[in-house]
């Protein structure tokens, strides 16, 4: 028996993994996670499946995706190189499926994957057409990668608000190719040293350097109002903003959380959980966490979030 929930978002199958739609942003962020190197080099990190016809896959596909074929009875044969049962993330796409009720190739393939996956199976909403339109630089014809090639893949900043707000590290903020691919209009660099070029314009990007050390004693709070207004003024015009700090985990994530609280009226906990979905390794230091708690009081008029909870 199949239970289809409202708005075509979930299908729950007895003794099978949950199948759900996901926005292209989710796959983009999965492709751009790293620890020391790209997480795509981890053998059990991401199982990305292209459910389109082989000729379409051979022409162009999303980076690291594996194609599936069908047997004589029209059933999907999963790639032998992908151990779906051990993958932390399982994502499938076809040409353009946008809802589970369409019953296209992606949905059929997802059902096959769900029989063996221990984790939810995600179908990219809009398929290859939508994803490649948003992120054409993540298309490729390459089918096989060595571990070294996977480790050396270019990592892009994570996307926080689709097509508007991104977060990364200092090197990404200085990479002209990344800035061009993402169409970044403004870069906020929060770093005590190694600031971006101090000119007001670098290429076509407005550069704003904020000299703050990654220390529990540093004051970022006093800059929240000005920086949130700066970000808001850009994205309200449809311009894209990139926030960076040296490692891309503490200072830039603190400011990004502050902006989500300011712009979307999130509580600190809501913004924190949202950020963890975009970048699980994000981690404002304890000093910035306390300042974010004060910012919650400023933006919402009350402290809703208990920062002593294990989540923080």
Please say which residue of 126, 151, 176 terminates a domain: 151
In a shared domain, residues 62 and 192: no
DSSP assigned state of 203: T
In a shared domain, residues 13 and 49: yes
In a shared domain, residues 193 and 280: yes
Euclidean distance between CA atoms 25 and 161, whole angstroms? 9
Q: Is-contact 127 95, C-beta < 8 A?
A: yes
Asked if residue 7 belongs to a domain, the reply is: yes
Please say which residue of 151, 185, 205 terminates a domain: 151
Name which of 138, 107, 141 is nearest 122 in CA terms: 107
In a shared domain, residues 121 and 163: no
Euclidean distance between CA atoms 280 and 261, whole angstroms? 18
Please say which residue of 151, 178, 196 terminates a domain: 151
In a shared domain, residues 169 and 74: no
Q: Give 218's contacts (C-beta < 8 A, 6+ positions apart).
A: 212, 287, 288
Q: Please state the pTM of the whole predicted model.
A: 0.91
Euclidean distance between CA atoms 192 and 214, whole angstroms? 8
DSSP assigned state of 195: P
Residue 298 has which token pair? 């400023």
- Domain boundaries, position 54: 3-151
Give SS3 for 192: coil
Name which of 248, 309, 305, 312 is nearest 282 in CA terms: 248
Domain total of the chain:
2
Q: What is the pLDDT along the chain (312 residues), one digit of tens a residue?
A: 343 433 444 554 446 899 999 999 999 999 999 998 999 999 999 999 999 999 999 999 999 999 998 888 888 988 877 889 899 999 999 999 999 998 889 999 999 999 999 999 999 999 999 999 999 999 999 999 999 999 999 999 999 999 999 999 999 999 999 999 999 999 999 987 656 654 444 567 899 999 999 999 999 999 999 999 999 999 999 999 999 999 999 999 999 999 999 999 999 999 999 999 999 999 999 999 999 999 999 999 999 999 999 999
Euclidean distance between CA atoms 220 and 226, whole angstroms? 11
Name which of 166, 290, 267, 154 is nearest 217 in CA terms: 290
The region, left, alpha or beta by phi > 0 then psi within -120 to 50, assigned to residue 122 is: beta
CATH number of the CATH domain containing 52: 3.40.250.10
In a shared domain, residues 175 and 214: yes
H helix intervals, 165-285: 170-173, 176-181, 221-235, 251-263, 268-278
In a shared domain, residues 123 and 179: no
């Amino acid at each position: 028996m199949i239970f289809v929930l409202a708005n075509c978002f979930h299908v729950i199958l007895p003794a099978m993994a949950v199948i759900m739609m996901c926005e292209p942003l989710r796959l983009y962020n999965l492709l751009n996670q790293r620890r020391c190197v790209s997480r795509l080099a981890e053998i059990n990190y991401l199982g990305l499946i292209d459910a389109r016809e082989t000729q379409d896959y051979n022409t162009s596909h999303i980076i690291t995706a594996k194609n599936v074929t069908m047997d004589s009875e029209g059933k999907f044969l999963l790639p032998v190189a992908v151990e779906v049962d051990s993958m932390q993330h399982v994502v499938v796409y076809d040409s353009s499926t946008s809802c589970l009720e369409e019953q296209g190739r992606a949905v059929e393939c997802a059902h096959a994957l769900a029989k063996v996956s221990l984790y939810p199976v995600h179908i990219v909403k809009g398929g290859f057409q939508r994803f490649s339109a948003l992120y054409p630089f993540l298309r490729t014809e390459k089918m096989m990668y060595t571990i070294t090639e996977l480790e050396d893949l270019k990592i892009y900043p994570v996307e926080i608000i689709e097509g508007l707000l991104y977060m990364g590290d200092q090197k990404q903020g200085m990479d002209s190719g990344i800035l061009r691919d993402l169409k970044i209009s403004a870069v906020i660099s929060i770093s005590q040293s190694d600031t971006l070029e101090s000119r007001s314009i670098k290429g076509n990007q407005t550069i704003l350097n904020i000299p703050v050390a990654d220390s529990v004693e540093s004051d970022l709070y006093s800059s929240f109002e000005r920086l949130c207004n700066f970000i808001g003024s850009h994205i309200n015009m449809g311009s894209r903003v990139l926030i960076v700090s040296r490692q891309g985990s503490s200072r830039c994530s603190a400011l990004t959380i502050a902006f989500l609280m300011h712009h979307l009226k999130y509580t600190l906990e809501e913004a924190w959980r949202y950020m963890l979905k975009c970048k699980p390794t994000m981690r404002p230091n304890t000093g910035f966490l306390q300042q974010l708690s004060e910012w919650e009081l400023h933006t919402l008029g009350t402290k809703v979030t208990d920062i002593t909870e294990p989540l923080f």
